[in-house]
């Protein structure tokens, strides 16, 4: 079973709202990722958590705030977003952060900022 589940699947929020995206995996994976994908573009890495600690932040604006409450959960808190932040947000996980590990993606959360 290589399932990464994300909620909600669709989210519409105003520029003053605070919302969160959630991601869960029960494969015992120790690395979890957030990617952002705009239409007709490949995914772009935002954050990497390894063993529940933030290990990579790809210079993401502070209006995106990741959180890893435990080894199975990864959240992305959203505040004061801009319309250009509208995109598909993908969560992914891998057994470890090591480079030989396959990265599995969830189905994504479609975010629209109005």
Partner 1 sequence: EDKVVQSPLSLVVHEGDTVTLNCSYEVTNFRSLLWYKQEKKAPTFLFMLTSSGIEKKSGRLSSILDKKELSSILNITATQTGDSAIYLCAVVWGSSNTGKLIFGQGTTLQVKP
Using CB under 8 A, list all residues that contact partner 1.
2, 31, 33, 41-45, 48, 50, 55-56, 88, 90, 94, 96-108
- State in angstroms the smallest separation of the CB of 105 from partner 1: 4
Pick the closer one to partner 1 by CB: 94 or 113. Answer: 94
- State in angstroms the smallest separation of the CB of 63 from partner 1: 23
Pick the closer one to partner 1 by CB: 55 or 112. Answer: 55
**Sheet-wide strand order for 4-7:** 4-7, 18-25, 73-79, 64-70
The whole-angstrom separation of Cα 70 and Cα 24 is 10
Ramachandran angles phi, psi of 100, nearest 5°:
-90, 5
Pick the closer one to partner 1 by CB: 49 or 64. Answer: 49
The whole-angstrom separation of Cα 104 and Cα 112 is 24
């Amino acid at each position: 079973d290589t399932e990464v589940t994300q909620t909600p699947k669709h989210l519409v929020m105003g520029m003053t709202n605070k919302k969160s995206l959630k991601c869960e995996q029960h494969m015992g994976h120790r690395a979890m990722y957030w990617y952002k994908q705009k239409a007709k573009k490949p995914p772009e890495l935002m954050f990497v958590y390894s063993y529940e600690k933030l290990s990579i932040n790809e210079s993401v604006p502070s209006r995106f705030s990741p959180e890893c409450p435990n080894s199975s959960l990864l959240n992305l808190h959203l505040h004061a977003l801009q319309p250009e932040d509208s995109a598909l947000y993908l969560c992914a996980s891998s057994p470890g952060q090591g480079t030989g590990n396959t990265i599995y993606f969830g189905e994504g959360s479609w975010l629209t900022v109005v």
